[in-house]
Amino acid sequence: MSGLRERQKALRRKAISAAAVALFQRQGFRETTVEQIARDAGVSAPTVFNYFGSKHEIILEMIKEADRRALVDVHTRIRDFDDPIDALCHLEHILVSYALHVLPPALWRELLPLVLVGGNGGLPEAYRQMNRGLQAEIANVLRELQAAGKLRADLDVELAGFLLNDYSHLQLLRLTASDELDMQAHSATVRATTRLMFEGMRA
């Protein structure tokens, strides 16, 4: 019986998330209310609050799960790359792929300026708290590459993780500037910039 109850809860949670994303995409994140999400999900507003607490938490949970899945993928494959630039480009590609899987480009276009420059409504600070965890995980990936002798031993992996994560946000914003995603151009830019960061500008 408890197994059935858990499955029902999971289905209800999924229905709330799906209704929220559809509304966010159709009318914008800021314009969407919890009452509208509840209506479209076929539940009451208190039920939405029981599951998520706020519409911000719906977004954050989806992004957090996408990041978690991406990092599992990266840790599984990271030692397969002989070239550290290939490894770092794979890291960025996987993070962006999972991000676009959970949220459509139009929604990222609305959310990323809030994340990058701040704003009201609660999303920026909550997102930044979650993002600090992602930076730490990226630093752990860099430590793996460092331990394998593919990055220099004195590299500040915390700073490098911060820079890579910050750069990935900026590239995601550029990528989602249009619904027609130019993944080929995006990948080429990421590779060129990653090579520059990796090799430096020193003569």
Q: Answer yes or no: are the C-beta atoms of 131 and 94 closer than 8 Å.
A: no
User: Which residues form the domain of 41?
Assistant: 1-53
- Give the tens place of pLDDT for each residue, 63-87: 888 999 999 999 899 888 999 999 9
pLDDT of residue 124: 65
Q: Backbone dihedral region of 68: left (phi > 0), alpha (psi from -120 to 50 degrees) or beta?
A: alpha
65 and 101, same domain (yes or no): yes
Look up the CATH number of the domain holding residue 20.
1.10.10.60
Same domain, 18 and 99: no
Interval 169-182 mean pLDDT = 91
The fraction of the chain above a pLDDT of 90, given in percent, is: 52
The pTM for the full model equals: 0.83
**pLDDT recorded at residue 158:** 95
Residue (of 101, 105, 98, 113) closest to 30 by Cα position: 113
State which amino acid sits at residue 98: Y
CA distances from 152 to 107, 174, 199 (A): 38, 30, 11
Confidence (pLDDT) at 118: 62
Which pair of structure tokens corresponds to residue 71?
A: 């990092």
Same domain flag for 35 and 65? no
187 compared with 116, residue with greater pLDDT: 187
Residue-wise burial string across 32-42, b where 16 or more C-beta atoms lie within 10 A, e elsewhere = bebebbbebbe
Which run of H or E residues covers position 53?
A: none
Query: Euclidean distance between the first and final Cα of the chain, in Å?
Result: 69
149: domain CATH number? 1.10.357.10
What would the pLDDT profile of 79-130 be if each residue is shown by its tens digit?
Answer: 889 999 999 999 999 999 999 998 889 889 888 887 777 655 556 677 888 8
